[in-house]
Amino acid sequence: MGIVWTGMAQPYGTAWPGLWAGSVDKRPAEFGPSRLIGGAEPSISPADEPPSERQGRMPPVLMYHSVEEYREDPHLVTVTPARFLSQMRWLESRGLRGVAVSELLAAKAAGRHRRMVGLTFDDGYADFVWQVLPVLTQMGFTATVFVVAGEIGGSNSWDDGPRKPLMTADQLRAVAASGVEIASHGVQHLALPQLAYDELVWQLTESRSLLEDLLQRPVRGYAYPYGHVTPREVRAVRAGGYDYGCAIWTSGVDRHALARTYIGERDNGLRMRAKFVRHRIRQRNLP
Ligand SMILES: [Zn+2]
């Protein structure tokens, strides 16, 4: 069985208790409605997946955006610093270490990923520098930050929520030098499935070359803006030389469309535990 992309109408089949299904969390509006793939459920065949990707189970990859105090957060993309600290302590207390996605995949390939959890931060918010990095450093964790390469030093102009500053070039260099992985989130924050093919390719190639020029190090990963992805985007990211891609709602088997677990302000230890259990059950049920 190939990987099935699920529309939000029925994510992960009927048993989905709902990360964003109302009972647990409102689904962040940043990720948009189910226009994702027009109600279809495109899939890629097993032949599209390297055999090694069908074996083994992925640890959870957590998805954050901004960590900062806030007054309003209509798209549920912000976690307060106190809550973030308690979530990282929860990981630590369970003997888990937060790592960058590249490190997680390398560890998985070597069979030493059992105590690891992927940590990702989308969009490249400047609050990463003062709210996230000190906590990660203190705990010996790393993370991956997905940067909108054409908006460096700007703000989240693509959404209609409160403006949040994005990291500058200097901040990105410093963050990368501290051991955090910097990866791509496009040149602009655009949903790729709506783009013509040459525009899609340009978003992939130009963003990587901008970031590699800036950081003088390879950029290996791509996160699909809004989590919107179809098999066309997965093939383009793979063909474009990216080592992996981060999505949101996929089955999480293909390294170019890794599923991630949304973590929000409401996620205390109990809810974190529930999300980890759910992840484990889904992984166990994979073909
Ligand atoms: Zn984003």
Domain boundaries, the chain: 56-284
Residues 166-171, mean pLDDT to the nearest whole number: 98
Is 242 a residue whose pLDDT tops 50? Answer: yes
Q: How far is ligand 1, taken at its centre, from the CA of residue 285, in Å?
A: 29
Give the pLDDT band of residue 56 (cuts 50, 70, 90).
low
Please tell me the distance from the alpha carbon of residue 214 to that of residue 73, in angstroms, as a whole number: 31
Please write the tens of the pLDDT for every residue from 114-149.
999 999 999 999 999 999 999 999 999 999 999 999
Q: What is the CA radius of gyration of the chain?
A: 17
pLDDT (0 to 100) of residue 283: 85
Per the CB < 8 A criterion, the answer to whether 243 and 221 are in contact is yes
Is 16 a residue whose pLDDT tops 90? Answer: no
Q: How far is ligand 1, taken at its centre, from the CA of residue 229, in Å?
A: 13
Give the pLDDT band of residue 252 (cuts 50, 70, 90).
low
pTM: 0.83
Q: How far is ligand 1, taken at its centre, from the CA of residue 271, in Å?
A: 23
Q: How far is ligand 1, taken at its centre, from the CA of residue 111, in Å?
A: 30
- Largest pairwise CA distance in the chain: 48
Q: How far is ligand 1, taken at its centre, from the CA of residue 263, in Å?
A: 14
Q: Taking Cα atoms as reference points, which of 279, 268, 266, 209 lies closest to residue 242?
A: 209
Q: How far is ligand 1, taken at its centre, from the CA of residue 62, in Å?
A: 14
Q: How far is ligand 1, taken at its centre, from the CA of residue 82, in Å?
A: 23
Rounded to the nearest integer, the mean pLDDT of the chain is 84
Residues near ion ligand 1 (CB < 5 Å) are 122-123, 225
Q: How far is ligand 1, taken at its centre, from the CA of residue 205, in Å?
A: 18
User: Among residues of the chain, what percentage have pLDDT more than 90?
Assistant: 75
Half-sphere exposure for 276 (CA within 13 Å, toward CB): 17
Q: Taking Cα atoms as reference points, which of 150, 145, 9, 160 lies closest to residue 74?
A: 160
Half-sphere exposure for 26 (CA within 13 Å, toward CB): 9
Give the pLDDT band of residue 41 (cuts 50, 70, 90).
very low
Let me know if domain 56-284 sits in CATH 3.20.20.370: yes
Please tell me the distance from the alpha carbon of residue 128 to that of residue 54, in angstroms, as a whole number: 34
Residues 253-263, mean pLDDT to the nearest whole number: 93
